[in-house]
Amino acid sequence: MQLFMGRREFLEISLALVASSNGTAPNVHFPTNPRERLAVSSYPFREFIANPARAHSESSKAGMTLEQFGETVVQKFDVPGIEPWSPHFESIEPDYVRSLSSSFQRSGLRVVNIPVDESVHLCSAVAGERDSGMVTLRRWVDAAVILGSPSIRVHLPRGNGPDDLRCATDMMKDLANYGASKDIVINLENDEPDSENPDRVLKVIEAANTPYLRSLPDFCNSMLINGQSEYNYRALQRLFPHAYNISHVKDQESENGKIYRVDVNQIFAIAKKADYRGYFSMEWEGSRDPYEGTKGLIEVSLRNLT
């Protein structure tokens, strides 16, 4: 059985490589109506949504299922997109994912991306850890297929020693090739200030050189690197040309009690100049109620896209 699986995966990757060499690229027909380009991430609502991976909820309020949150997105925010965070999934077994997909469809929702936060070690010195990590991320690619999501977001792996960037590039290209075989894009976000700073993200994307490995520009994350708004705007000017289907909208971030703010209007102008045509997912960060904060982000997004 193991031999068969290995051959099958080899064929899938080989086909993806051939497709890439022939110029094949993802071809999502993005909506042009401003409201239809918007989505809501489940991440800011982690206080309210149950996290099945934890024995105890983060909050006594966390009793909502991901399916129920999907209904909330339509009822409270009147947008058609959802970005479900991986810890909010009860499972990635196909039967559960198919059930989740049916629930989203009944609510009139499309999945625009899946942010995947898994504890994997793709650049481990232990081959077994590398292999098991890749298997886990491939299962999320398969889940994206079932959900009709055009992409997943993964974390850029750390490495050890002088081959740090080489390992990260090789692993991401491997995953992107698998994604290509399923027509699923792999997104890298400017998330962690150290391992996922814009320079490192872009070096890996450019070195991998495949249309199935793209950037996910977050409006404010790069502020955590040095607190300089101009640096954040320059980073986004470099990231948006490599983006395909997803960007995270927020107007602030906080760290160690300090709040960093950005000009959302200026960032939408950057996205427009880069001819970005994908989705914008609201990922509110702040002390305000996430429902109120998300509604505010939707309003400013619509003003900029209309």
**What is the tens place of the pLDDT at every residue in 8-18?**
444 444 444 44
pLDDT at 25 over 60: yes
Tokens describing residue 44:
């800011």
Tokens describing residue 127:
């081959």
**pLDDT tens-digit series, residues 108-152:** 999 999 999 999 999 999 999 999 999 999 999 999 999 999 999
**Cα 191 versus chain centre, distance:** 10
Residue type, 262: V
Task: Count CB atoms within 10 A of the CB of residue 160.
Answer: 10
pLDDT at 206 over 50: yes
Q: Could you tell me the CA-to-CA distances from 192 to 33, 163, 189, 200, 206 in Å, in that order?
A: 32, 20, 8, 11, 19
Rounded to 5 degrees, φ, ψ at 260 are: -115, 130
**What's the pTM?**
0.90
Pair 85, 58: CB distance under 8 Å: no
Which pLDDT score is estimated for 56? Answer: 46
pLDDT at 2 over 50: no
- Sorted by where each starts, the structural domains of the chain and their CATH numbers stand as 36-305 (3.20.20.150)
Pair 79, 298: CB distance under 8 Å: yes
For residue 27, give the 3-state DSSP assignment.
coil
Q: What mean pLDDT is predicted for residues 68-91?
A: 97
Q: What mean pLDDT is predicted for residues 90-96?
A: 97
Q: Could you tell me the CA-to-CA distances from 103 to 22, 86, 132 in Å, in that order?
A: 37, 16, 30
Tokens describing residue 158:
């750390």
Tokens describing residue 189:
């976000």
Continuous H helices in 108-149: 127-147
**pLDDT tens-digit series, residues 229-257:** 999 999 999 999 999 999 999 999 988 88
Give, for 109, the enclosing helix (H) or strand (E): none
pLDDT at 91 over 70: yes
Rounded to 5 degrees, φ, ψ at 185 are: -80, 145
DSSP string, 47-97: TTB--TTSSS-SSTT--B-HHHHHHHIIIII--SEEE--GGG-S--SHHHH
Pairing verdict, β 279-282 and 246-249: parallel
Give, for 186, the enclosing helix (H) or strand (E): strand 185-189
Which pLDDT score is estimated for 186? Answer: 98
